[in-house]
Amino acid sequence: MKIIRFLSDDHRILYGRYETDQPDCARIIVGDIFHDFHVTREQAKIKRFLPPVQPSNILALGLSYRRHAEETEMAVPDYPILFMKATSSVIGHQEPILLPAAGPEKVDYEAELAVVIGKSAKNLKIPDAMACVLGYTCANDVSARDWQLEKQKGQWIRGKSFDTFCPLGPWIVTKDEIVHPDRLQIRTILNDDDILQDSNTANMIHNIAAIISFLSQSMTLLPGTVVLTGTPEGVGFTRQPPVFLKAGDRITVEIEDIGRLINPVIREQQPLS
């Protein structure tokens, strides 16, 4: 099932079941998607996609792919490297990424498979880890590399948490429809034709069950937690010459069996005071 969160044409914020053969409408979901819900027969027109979940936490991993660690000239980690992104950074499909006034010149893309946690979990063993998963969505871990790597070396959160720096969507695909999340093709496409990242989640150092188990040993994974599982090689700041997002760009994260998350790029208008 594809679960979307959307603004209807009569200005209601709704959850719905998205059907690809009716791309302008969704069947309304009633109830709590993390507990009891059902899909009604009532349809509503989609005016605007919203982030498919309002995260309780955003847990993000760094250096999850060996070749990405190598391109950044960083050591391959023994354990997943964890950082967090502000929940205020979340936007949905087709919403614009803002190049922030505080650092518009070195904004980078990172295609990532996002796992949406469906029920509370703590201290999970690897064989039991997938039981807490609701589903999967596409994510773009947008990053201001000047803040991440130059101005605040070793402290990633600010450079990762500017407003609009966590696009999610377009929908959550429930886990029953994705049998092998560790074998999904993942790509980043700039301006519809320039493929910048092209890999597979099979290339991750730690598989998804191991990641969830590891995270649950540190904290309770709450319903609505979004886990960004890391990005493959091909990010902008490692390229020669570097490729950073600029106003007028259109950046797409494409993941097999999920879909395409597309966001235009504009410059933040609010001046620094």
pLDDT in tens, 128-180: 999 999 999 999 999 999 998 888 777 789 999 999 999 999 999 999 999 99
One DSSP character per residue, 84-114 reads E--GGGEE-TTPPEEE-TT--SSEE--EEEE
Strands 133-140 and 58-62: unpaired
Structure tokens at 3: 């679960």
Listed as ranges, residues in the chain with pLDDT below 70 are 271-273
What count of other Cβ atoms lies within 10 Å of the Cβ of residue 106?
Answer: 20
The DSSP element (H or E) to which 16 belongs, if any, is strand 13-18
Comparing CA positions, the residue from 67, 79, 9, 105 lying closest to residue 199 is: 67
Q: Per residue in 112-133, pLDDT tens?
A: 999 999 999 999 999 999 999 9
